[in-house]
């Protein structure tokens, strides 16, 4: 079947390496951000979130960094595994308009064994 992410930017890493996926967001008023992972044939799956009053948040093997000055978000994955291969999207919530999520363009992560 068709895969999501055929035309998206691709990051290729070796298993065990650390991965950094970047995202630029558009609205300086956005106050909540989420990283999603999407595997082929599935809906987006929540990874980690961060609020605008923070600049860093850590989860299991993942860290999200937020730089509000330049409107930049990054997702760091430690010790990347083949199961991490997927398309990753950042999403922002703007403080108005039904709390809707606006998605970034996405990055395809390929992990080689």
The contact set with other proteins (CB under 8 A) reads 1-2, 4-8, 31-32, 34, 41-46, 49, 51, 89, 91, 93, 97-106
Q: How far is the CB of 46 from other proteins (least distance, A)?
A: 5
Task: Supply 2's token pair.
Answer: 């068709």
List C-alpha distances in Å: 44 to 3, 22, 67, 70, 87.
Answer: 13, 17, 24, 26, 9
State in angstroms the smallest separation of the CB of 44 from other proteins. 5
- Nearer of residues 29 and 98 to other proteins, judged by Cβ: 98
Quick one: 97 or 113, whose CB is closer to other proteins? Answer: 97
**C-beta of 16: minimal distance to other proteins in Å?**
28
Looking at the Cβ atoms of 2 and 69, the one nearer to other proteins is 2
Give the closest residue to 48 by CA, choosing from 28, 74, 71, 67.
74
Per-residue tokens: 78: 């430690």
Give, rounded to a whole angstrom, the gap between the first and last alpha carbons of the chain: 23
């Amino acid at each position: 079947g068709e895969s999501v992410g055929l035309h998206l930017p691709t990051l290729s890493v070796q298993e065990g390496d650390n991965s950094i996926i970047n995202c630029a967001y558009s609205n300086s008023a956005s106050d909540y951000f989420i990283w999603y992972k999407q595997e082929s044939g599935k809906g987006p799956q929540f990874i980690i979130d961060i609020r605008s009053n923070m600049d860093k948040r850590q989860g299991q093997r993942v860290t999200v960094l937020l730089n509000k000055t330049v409107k930049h978000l990054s997702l760091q994955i430690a010790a990347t595994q083949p199961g991490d291969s997927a398309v990753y999207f950042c999403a922002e919530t703007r403080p108005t308009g039904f709390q809707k999520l606006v998605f970034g363009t996405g990055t395809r992560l390929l992990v080689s064994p």
